[in-house]
Amino acid sequence: MFINNDVTKGTVMQERHVVQPNDPGHPIILSTEDLHVFYGKKEALFEGDLQFGSNQITALIGPSGSGKSTYLRSLNRMNDRIATVTGKIMYRGVDINQPAIDVYEMRRRVGMVFQRPNPFAKSIYDNIAFALRLRGTTDKHELDEIVETSLKQAALWDQVKDDLNKSALALSGGQAQRLCIARAIAVKPDILLLDEPASALDPVSTGQLEDTLLDLKQHYTIIIVTHNMQQAARISEYTAFFNQGRVLEYDTTSQIFTNPQVQVTSDYVSGNFG
Amino acid sequence: MNSKKQNKIAIGALYGIAGLVVLILLALLGYILASGLPQLSWHFLTAPAKAFLKGGGVGVQLFNSFYLLILAMAISFPIALGAAIYLYEYARDNWVTTTIRTAIEILSSLPSVVVGLFGFLFFVVKLRLGFSILSGAFALTFFNLPLLTRSIEDSLRTIDLEQREGGLALGLSRWETITRVILPATVPSILTGVILSAGRVFGEAAALIYTAGQSAPALNFADWNPFNISSPLNPMRPAETLAVHIWKINSEGIMPDAKAISSGSSAVLIIAILLFNFAARYVGKRLYKRLTSA
Ligand SMILES: Nc1ncnc2c1ncn2[C@@H]1O[C@H](COP(=O)(O)OP(=O)(O)OP(=O)(O)O)[C@@H](O)[C@H]1O
Ligand SMILES: [Mg+2]
């Protein structure tokens, strides 16, 4: 604590510090420009300007009410009927925050997993297959295959392969959350948005989930909101620190945790916040 | 007096009240069944009623009750489902929905005799439908619609917001989310609501006296052409139901065995309504189990 305070006094002086990712191996796949979000008249997000490299994990951290979920939910337009979102969200060179965009198609490219596991009241198999069937995949073999690969990628296959026709509501919390991940990746997205996906899970399930996310990174770009500093440090390459509706600091995760440039970030990651 | 004692007295009082309610219900049921069950026979359940002689049955009335029930449900269920989906899933909270909700509230607390008189003036007289199954079914729809809409809305409310967001996040439209995710999950509780309201409709008399009428012309159960006047399916024929029959016998029945027929009919009515209630519980539980477990 003492040392940390010293460091704080010595080096931290900026108000805001943003370093966008710049790895040749991980081209930018998604970025936001001048993003503002209003709930009615109340502004909840003031200019979110972040870029995300493909096949990397980015953690969004910050105190409660700082706008992390607001930002994340804007990325796949889940806030459409709830809030007003202005600014650009560039996905592979296309601004997906404009009315002309087919949001249903877009959400299949930018999938989302929620805080509380939300399996549907259907069988495990149908949880994954029914959205595919709705979009015209009716071949049984093809469906079987997608269900199997998705469950394998979500590290759930071995536990449920004999119970695919059982109700998903009978799964444990950790299993249910994996099923939700499998369901999200079955429609073959590029990007996975996760909003505190482990907050309802026990430590063992949480650890397993983190391993799964690290595996998934090969195929997907992952943006995850978390309140767990260790989790952010363990799995992410980049970390954005949100405070009062602003991104105060964005940098590589190791920089954020070992050498933060903004006083508030430093306080927050060292636990001296508030 | 210490709080432990107070607690004991309070619990005792509550048990007493609950016990009293159950006792009254049991006494009522016991009385109706005890006086009615001995009258029941296959003949009683199937034979047509007799106006002046003894030995009539309630076959036609029983059929009428079910036919009216099915027609009323067929009309009111789709409307109620649509209204509930609109109100809960689509409409924003503004003065329009507040007005609709208030209207539903008022409609559901209208005395059924008022609904019946409205049905008489509007369907029977104005639309010239006469005393008919159709008039009765429309009146029952008015009686049933608000209750059913509210019950379906309550069923929709039991499904978490996360289920809806889960559907949307998979790229489903709102309509797809409602029809593929939400409605299947609410089938058990919607069905329970439907069966319970069927019980209420089945026992309804006041709304039908001046709409479906108080006469039960003999039916030819071999003739299923709905356009023939003696066909059971003809929706334009007057159709006294079981509940109306009970009311009528007791107010102006002149057959020698009026008392026995009234008791027997009451027993049939009570048994049917009990069956509806048990069916609602059973079906709801079974369906829910099938949806949620192995
Ligand atoms: N649906 C909504 N309507 C109105 N205001 C909202 C809504 N959702 C969030 N807000 C407000 O927006 C601000 C940011 O909330 P947000 O949920 O994005 O915070 P968060 O960083 O995700 O917090 P937490 O860590 O608690 O999840 C808060 O002040 C919150 O009250
Ligand atoms: Mg949040």
Domain at A217, CATH number: 3.40.50.300
A211-239: average pLDDT: 94
How would residue A107 be classed by pLDDT, with cut points 50, 70 and 90?
very high
In the sheet with A191-195, reading across from the earlier edge strand, the strands are A17-18, A246-252, A238-243, A57-61, A221-225, A191-195, A110-113
CA A149, CA A184: separation in Å to the nearest integer? 12
What token pair was written down for B255? 């057959």
Distance of CA A230 to the CA centre of its chain: 16
CA B261, CA B278: separation in Å to the nearest integer? 26
Q: Would you call A107 an interface residue with chain B, using a CB distance cutoff of 8 Å?
A: yes
Query: Which of A141-145, A266-270, B189-193: highest mean pLDDT?
Result: A141-145
Q: Compute chain B's Rg from CA coordinates.
A: 23
| C-beta separation of A134 from B180 below 8 A | yes
pLDDT value at position B221?
Answer: 84
Measured between beta carbons, the chain A residues lying within 8 angstroms of B172 are: 104, 131, 134
Select the residue of A104, A112, A121 nearest B173 (Cβ to Cβ).
A104
Count of domains for chain A: 1
Cα B68 to averaged position of ligand 2 atoms, centre (Å): 52
Distance of CA A252 to the CA centre of its chain: 16
Measured between beta carbons, the chain A residues lying within 8 angstroms of B291 are: 121-122, 167, 169
A181-186: average pLDDT: 94
**What residue spans define the domains of chain B?**
40-292
B188 CA: distance to closest CA in chain A (Å): 12
pLDDT value at position A8?
Answer: 46
pTM: 0.86
Q: Would you call B170 an interface residue with chain A, using a CB distance cutoff of 8 Å?
A: yes
CA B16, CA B37: separation in Å to the nearest integer? 30
Q: Do B292 and A167 touch (CB under 8 A)?
A: yes
What are the pLDDT digits (tens) for B80-101? 999 999 999 999 888 998 999 8
What are the pLDDT digits (tens) for B5-53? 999 999 999 999 999 999 999 999 999 999 999 989 999 998 888 878 8
For chain B, give the mean pLDDT: 90
Lowest mean pLDDT among B87-101, B212-226, B240-254: B212-226
Q: Is A70's C-beta closer than 6 angstroms to any atom of ligand 1?
A: yes
What are the pLDDT digits (tens) for B229-243? 888 888 899 999 999
pLDDT value at position A251?
Answer: 95
Cα B269 to averaged position of ligand 1 atoms, centre (Å): 55
What token pair was written down for A6? 């010293």
Per-residue pLDDT for A5 more than 60? no
SS3 of A271, please?
coil
**In 10 A of CB A147, how many CB atoms?**
23
| C-beta separation of A19 from A240 below 8 A | no
What are the pLDDT digits (tens) for B185-205? 998 899 989 998 999 899 999
Q: How far is CA B181 from CA A46, B160, B241, in A?
A: 35, 11, 39
Cα A45 to averaged position of ligand 1 atoms, centre (Å): 9
> Is A162 part of a structural domain of the chain?
no
Q: Which residue of chain A comes nearest to B183, CA vs CA? A: A121
What token pair was written down for B117? 């008189």
Counting ligands in written order, the one closest to the CA of A227 is 1
> Is A42 part of a structural domain of the chain?
yes
DSSP letters along A120-154, please? -SSBHHHHHHHHHHHTT---HHHHHHHHHHHHHHT
How would residue A205 be classed by pLDDT, with cut points 50, 70 and 90?
confident
Task: Please name the amino acid found at residue A67.
Answer: G
What are the pLDDT digits (tens) for B130-150? 999 999 999 999 989 999 999
B59-87: average pLDDT: 94
pLDDT value at position B155?
Answer: 95
Minimum CA distance residue for ligand 1 atom 12: A44
What are the pLDDT digits (tens) for B151-187? 999 999 999 999 999 999 999 999 999 999 999 899 8
pLDDT value at position A110?
Answer: 96
- Domain span including residue A94: 17-116+189-269
> Is A133 part of a structural domain of the chain?
no
Number of H helices, E strands in chain A: 11, 12
| C-beta separation of B274 from B202 below 8 A | no
How would residue A204 be classed by pLDDT, with cut points 50, 70 and 90?
confident
Distance of CA B280 to the CA centre of its chain: 12
Please give the class, per CATH, of domain B40-292: mainly alpha
Minimum CA distance residue for ligand 1 atom 7: A39
Choose from B90, B170, B174, B286 for mutation: most chain A CBs within 10 A.
B170
A114 CA: distance to closest CA in chain B (Å): 8
> Is A265 part of a structural domain of the chain?
yes
CA A264, CA A63: separation in Å to the nearest integer? 11
Q: Would you call A188 an interface residue with chain B, using a CB distance cutoff of 8 Å?
A: no
CA B212, CA B216: separation in Å to the nearest integer? 10
| C-beta separation of A40 from A77 below 8 A | no
CA B276, CA B69: separation in Å to the nearest integer? 12
pLDDT value at position B229?
Answer: 81
pLDDT value at position A242?
Answer: 95
Q: Do B169 and A187 touch (CB under 8 A)?
A: no
Task: Please name the amino acid found at residue A232.
Answer: A
B196-216: average pLDDT: 91
From the list B223, B252, B242, B180, the residue with the least C-alpha distance to B44 is: B242
For chain A, give the mean pLDDT: 91
Counting ligands in written order, the one closest to the CA of A44 is 1
pLDDT value at position B3?
Answer: 87
A175-185: average pLDDT: 94
A16-31: average pLDDT: 92
Residues contacting B161, CB < 8 A, separation 6+: none
Residue A181: CA count within 13 A, CB half-sphere = 32
DSSP state of A170: G
pLDDT value at position A11?
Answer: 57
Q: Do B181 and A120 touch (CB under 8 A)?
A: yes
pLDDT value at position A13?
Answer: 61
Q: Calculate what percentage of chain A has a pLDDT beyond 90.
A: 80
Q: Is A48's C-beta closer than 6 angstroms to any atom of ligand 1?
A: no
Residue bearing tokens 């047509």: B48
A156-180: average pLDDT: 93
B161 CA: distance to closest CA in chain A (Å): 9
Residue bearing tokens 């995850």: A224
Minimum CA distance residue for ligand 1 atom 26: A64
